[in-house]
Amino acid sequence: MDFAHRRSDYQTTATLRNQGERHKQITDRQMSSEFRLNKGAGQVTPNGKSYASAISEFDLESELRELRQRDSKHVNAAEICCDRYADDKAAVALRYRNSLGVQSEWTFDSLKIHSERLARLLASLGIKKGDCIAGLLSRTPELLITALAAWRIGAIYQPLFTAFGPKAIDHRLIEAGTKAIVTSAEHRSKISGAAAIPVLTTSAPKGSDHDFWSEAVGLERDLSPASCTLDDPFLMMFTSGTTGLPKALHVPIRAIAAFKRYMLDGIGLSRDDVFWNMADPGWAYGLYYAVVGPLSLGFATTFFEGSFSVADTYQTIKSFGVTSLAGSPTAYRMMMGAGPEPAAAVRGQLRAISSAGEPLNPELVRWFAEHLNAPMRDHYGQTELGIVLCNHHGLTHPVAIGSAGYPLPGHHIAVLDDQMLERGVGEPGVLALDSARSPLMWFDGYLGRETSALVDGWYLTGDTCERNEDGSISFIGRSDDVITTSGYRVGPFDVESALLEHEAVLESAVVGKPDPQRTEIIKAFIVLNDGFEPDAELAEALKLHVKSRLSAHAYPREITFVDQIPKTPSGKVQRFLLRERD
């Protein structure tokens, strides 16, 4: 990839961003009793330390020391995420709402008891330390019990997204060498048997399936947590496969230190919070930060079993008293599309809103500030890294709408050109992580691949960004998503954000379409809000809207109205599918 662009190119990109109000400050307003937006400074002041202090005080050894248990070498993820908090019999680990709306609470003690029973059953089936155990489960208590049981015997938990079909499941089971799978009757038919492994079913087991709940009764009870090291894997993850087959990678136990740091600094979680991460634990953001992160701190997490809907989302927030919410821009756009009336029921209740999975459009930030009276912050990461860049809820630093923020303490980030040299302010390049200066970085390569994941000690994310004058980072797009039109380089994020500011647009995705005169033209795919007709008049109005917001060249010359935007199961826009349409 060539990031050594002409100076006129990156100057135009910077100008484009300013015209698009990427750095427009949130309107001064009273956010809550704990958060105050400083007029003109765009800076949120939480009850916490400054960003500079957090960087200077970071100490890797103290971060890792908190993970260790019985001695200087022994660690076990089940102890970290459950056992150490189980002595308090009343300590809640999970607030659960099923698909019918029935609510319950599960304590750390109850999860410990049930995961010990399941661990004995797994051990009786020959599962041992280092083996992989998959969970094809909805957001239910059984998912937590399965993960904890796997970790208890030193095994590796492998999440499987419940929307996967048999082919996607088989690929992951075979690639991972999975030794057992836990599922429910609802998803049992998706397991084709290609992997020929034991199946444990949480309800109505049939044939040779093992009973998740009853089969461990009567088995030997004495099963101490396996002794592991910080470098032993406890999660088996697969990348989302946006442009190719998903790649497998191990997550070591020491990564929990990075997950905890994000919960404290990025999300700003405190003992007084009721936390809900809406992301599915079948994917990295949900598993890392709806399961491992909060539980490792002894904080309760929240599960809603049903499919996403705006009504259920507001009802869950209200009924549990959620104060800290995390999710994806896709979910937030649907909430915005439903209008301010349903939001009024929880206005002022949310102290913090965190967003990850794709760049956060400025219009969403402004809408949630206005209608829910809550600060929304953009958080960036990858399956291979976890969250490494964000506008922190728990630390004080300048916050500008459109900026992805600053590196999480424990990580060093730079913007590089194709010669692996750091770019200057306003110069686009590839976002990279310096492994030597990122003590919390845990990713060291994909399974079954001999090629190194690092280039000269740098992990290259494949995302195009630029550094701002205040030291923060702004996202432009995936390296292969940036559009070259009439000699200018245009990031799709800017155009999409401008489109979303129009009242007719619910969702937008922008790609480059080959053109003999301009190299590429900008083409937009748009999902409309209810009440708007997809006609030529509206298409022209949208073009003029973007042209007035950005510039004479950075607007969509073609617009196609669609019913939905293609996305990965984790919610990322699949622009390559849109490009293939042309």
SS3 (DSSP) at 189: helix
Distance CA 310, CA 492 (A): 27
Total Cβ atoms within 10 A of residue 456: 11
- Residue type for position 143: L
Cα dihedral 332, 338, 339, 342, rounded to 10, equals -90
Listed in sequence order, the residues at least 6 apart from 28 whose beta carbon sits closer than 8 Å to its beta carbon are 37, 39, 40
- What 3-state DSSP class applies to 260? helix
pLDDT confidence of residue 24 = 32
569 burial class (0-12, 13-18, 19+ CB within 10 angstroms)? middle
Task: Specify whether the CB–CB gap between 414 and 463 falls below 8 A.
Answer: no
Quick one: which H or E segment has residue 430? Answer: strand 429-434
pLDDT in the model for residue 329: 84
Of 294, 358, 285, 362, which Cα lies nearest the Cα of 42?
Answer: 362
Q: How far is CA 309 from CA 128, 275, 332, 358, in A?
A: 40, 18, 11, 20
> What is the predicted pLDDT for the residue at 487?
53
Return the HEC string of 435-474: CCCCCCCCCCCCCCCCCCCCECCEEEEEEEEEECCCCCEE
Distance CA 350, CA 373 (A): 8
Alpha helices in 270-411 (DSSP H): 284-287, 293-296, 310-320, 329-337, 340-343, 362-371
Predicted pLDDT at 358: 76
Q: Is 335 within 8 Å of 329 (Cβ atoms)?
A: no
Other residues' Cβ atoms within 10 Å of the Cβ of residue 32: 15
386-390 vs 406-407, strand pairing mode: antiparallel
Q: Give the pLDDT confidence score for residue 478 in this predicted structure.
A: 66
**CA distance readout (Å), 464 to 246, 328, 423, 562:** 21, 20, 12, 27
Strand 413-416 relative to strand 429-434: parallel, antiparallel, unpaired? Answer: antiparallel
Task: Please state, as a whole number, how many other Cβ atoms lie within 10 Å of the Cβ of residue 99.
Answer: 13
Residue carrying the six token digits 């929990």: 256
Pairing of strands 132-136, 156-159: parallel
What pTM value is reported for the model? 0.79
User: What contacts 56, CB < 8 A, 6 or more positions away?
Assistant: none
Determine the Cα–Cα distance for residues 484 and 575; give it in Å rounded to an integer. 15
Q: In the chain, what's the furthest Cα-to-Cα distance?
A: 76
CB 472 within 8 A of CB 406: yes
Per-position pLDDT tens, the chain of length 582? 333 332 233 233 333 333 333 333 322 222 222 222 222 223 334 446 899 999 999 999 999 988 986 556 789 999 999 999 999 999 999 999 998 999 999 999 999 999 999 999 999 999 999 999 999 999 999 999 999 999 999 999 999 988 887 877 888 899 999 999 999 999 998 887 656 799 999 987 888 899 999 998 777 766 889 999 999 999 999 986 544 567 899 999 999 999 999 999 999 999 999 999 999 999 899 999 999 999 999 999 999 999 889 999 999 999 999 999 999 887 898 899 899 999 999 999 999 999 998 778 888 999 999 999 999 999 999 899 999 999 999 999 999 888 899 999 999 999 999 899 999 998 989 999 999 999 999 998 999 877 778 899 999 998 889 999 999 999 876 656 767 676 555 768 778 888 988 999 999 999 888 876 667 789 999 999 999 999 999 999 999 998 887 767 778 999 999 999 988 766 678 887 888 776
Q: What backbone torsions phi and psi does residue 435 show, to the nearest 5 degrees? A: -65, -30
Q: Which two tokens stand for residue 339?
A: 């209008």
